[in-house]
Amino acid sequence: MNCPSVDKLSQYVDELLSENEQYTMKAHIEHCQQCQEMITLFQGESQFITDTLQQPTLPTDFNDQVLAQLKPYQKKKRFWAKGLSIAAAAILTIGIVTAVTPSFAQFVTSLFSTDKVDPGLNEAEKLGFTEQVDYSVTDNGYTLQVKEVMVDTTRIAFTYKLLENGQEKYPLDNWVYHSTMQFVSKSGKVIDGQNLMQWVQYIEGGSALVQIDTPNVTEDGTLIWKVPQINDRMGNWELKIPLSIQKAFAALKKVDLQHVVLEQGNARVAFDSVEYTPSATTIHYTTAYTTPFKETKFSPFSFRSLGLDVAYTIEDEQGNVVLSNYVHQNWLGSERGGELSADGHTLEESLSWEQRERFKPIDIQQPTLVVAGFVKDKMVDESITFHPKKLTEQTPIHYDNELVKVAKMELVKELDLRRKWPFIKQNKHVELTLDYNASKIADEFTNWVLEDAEGKLYETMRSGDTFYVYGLDDIDQTFTLHLTSVKTLEKPEKPIRVPLYK
């Protein structure tokens, strides 16, 4: 499952999603550190609102009415809406990373020169691409300060601090609402924040690091940051941050890989280009399944999680592995990682993806990308037939000569405390666990579908070793658990080498 949108994460925290969506999100979040940190941020904002709730006015005969009537607290208006930026951050934030550091004031040198940021920003600082600045704006008792800026053709990064009446405030406890950003070039071209992928990293002690994809422009300009609300105070905080793009272009080195293509089975990859900038090395490529998957009754469940990646290493002139983009189980052993970020989006064809992967700057004269294989989804048809009360009589499956069987299945009833009326709701769901040794199976099981005795299909949501099934009330019957897809590494017959230099 790809990471959900910011709106979806906000709705998850507020329990505004359907029951199935809520638990699908829960299963993903428990295994995604980035989303966990986003959830922590949203929960902090929710706690802020809870702590500032106004006590409702109770009727004079409250004691007589209390058993017959309950009036819920009236919350302050939530400032979450589709299309608006997240609280506590500068812009429609895509990723959040937290770090623990000393107070910002303790840094004698640039924050970009410390180990509190990624190695790419360290390198950019060494090469003189960071600038100490002092842009600030004050309104209604709050001051926003931008202290450092870094610009290259990969990303824009700047640090900011929040002060209340001159005293530094910790950003994670103080929220910036509905902020927007625009890049305005010297010629007047305007690029809105919605078109800029952004990250925010909070540094304990009063600072935050904002990172933005550098817009597709060729001239200098100004980044305009507008904030209409900080905590519960309305105001007009607007900062204009001059940016020098021309200097960044002078340092850019781009190598056209001329769409080096590798096809294997039903998978295809075309390597487009590699870009070298002071803060990152970025590889662009496109993956696609060349033939459609056969439609089955399980397709609506299995096709939701389809993807196609390429596992590769990057070697130096002597053949030593310097970096790796994908380490999964034992597929690439203990090869070194090094990604700063990776993202992609589905193209118009549902089985085609445009990928972009960023690494710390590669300081090698002649780096070579070596393809280890395709990390692809494979449709399978394996089934376990069982009765929850007669598990000793089940029909298990054997995958890679490893026995896979159902260990337990039970109906769970629980009380759910909610933030909206009714505040208490009873939920029912089924929990199912499997018994097998995952370390002995090369592939990763990605999708299971449960079928009841009448042929009705149920989606399963996985969290760790437990599967959750919703909408099923009767488990005193025979079920079939279908394994419908796995993720596998398909290696080429011989290593494919792609020079990342001219």
- 186-197 pLDDT, tens digit per residue, is 999 998 866 566
Query: What is the rounded average pLDDT of the residues 257-283?
Result: 92
H helices of 101-237, in order, are 119-126
**With 70 as the cut, is the pLDDT of residue 478 above it?**
yes
Contacts of 12 (CB under 8 A, 6+ apart): 4, 21, 22, 25, 26, 29, 39
- pLDDT band at 167, cuts 50/70/90? confident
* Residue range(s) occupied by CATH 2.60.40.1630 in the chain: 86-251
- Least reliable range by pLDDT among 65-74, 237-246, 387-396: 65-74
Q: How far lies 194's CA from each of 293, 402, 438, in Å?
A: 34, 48, 41
Cβ proximity of 206 and 170 under 8 Å: yes
Strands (E), 316-401: 321-324, 339-346, 352-359, 368-386, 397-399
- Kindly report, residue by residue over 33-68, the tens digit of the pLDDT: 667 766 766 665 554 444 444 444 445 554 444 444
More reliable by pLDDT, 155 or 16: 155
The HSE-up count of residue 267 (CA atoms within 13 Å, CB side) is 20
More reliable by pLDDT, 90 or 495: 495
More reliable by pLDDT, 368 or 17: 368
- What is the rounded CA–CA span in Å between residue 162 and residue 145? 7
Strands (E), 72-128: 95-99
Mean pLDDT for all residues in the chain: 79
CATH of 252-376+490-499, one of 3.30.950, 3.30.70, 2.60.40, 3.30.499: 2.60.40
Helix (H, G, I), strand (E, B) or coil at 186: coil
Say what the pLDDT of residue 40 is.
Answer: 66
Nearest to 130 by CA among 11, 276, 296, 243: 243
CATH of 86-251, one of 2.60.40.1630, 3.40.50.2300, 3.30.565.10, 2.160.20.60: 2.60.40.1630
Amino acid at 463: S
Here the tokens at position 143 are: 């001051």
Query: What is the rounded average pLDDT of the residues 68-84?
Result: 30
Cβ proximity of 453 and 440 under 8 Å: no
The Cβ of residue 300 has, within 10 Å, a number of other Cβ atoms equal to 12
Nearest to 310 by CA among 342, 278, 276: 342
CATH number, span 1-55+64-84 = 1.10.10
Contacts of 266 (CB under 8 A, 6+ apart): 289, 290, 291
Query: What is the rounded average pLDDT of the residues 332-358?
Result: 73
- pLDDT band at 71, cuts 50/70/90? very low
Contacts of 249 (CB under 8 A, 6+ apart): 153, 218
Here the tokens at position 77 are: 């208006």
Say what the pLDDT of residue 341 is.
Answer: 74
Here the tokens at position 441 are: 């199976």
* Residue range(s) occupied by CATH 1.10.10 in the chain: 1-55+64-84
Strands (E), 248-367: 253-264, 267-277, 280-289, 308-315, 321-324, 339-346, 352-359
Task: Quote the pTM value.
Answer: 0.70
- Kindly report, residue by residue over 111-136, the tens digit of the pLDDT: 888 888 889 999 999 999 999 999 99
More reliable by pLDDT, 118 or 84: 118
- What is the rounded CA–CA span in Å between residue 281 and residue 338? 10
- What is the rounded CA–CA span in Å between residue 95 and residue 4? 11
Cβ proximity of 283 and 326 under 8 Å: no
Nearest to 159 by CA among 135, 140, 181: 135
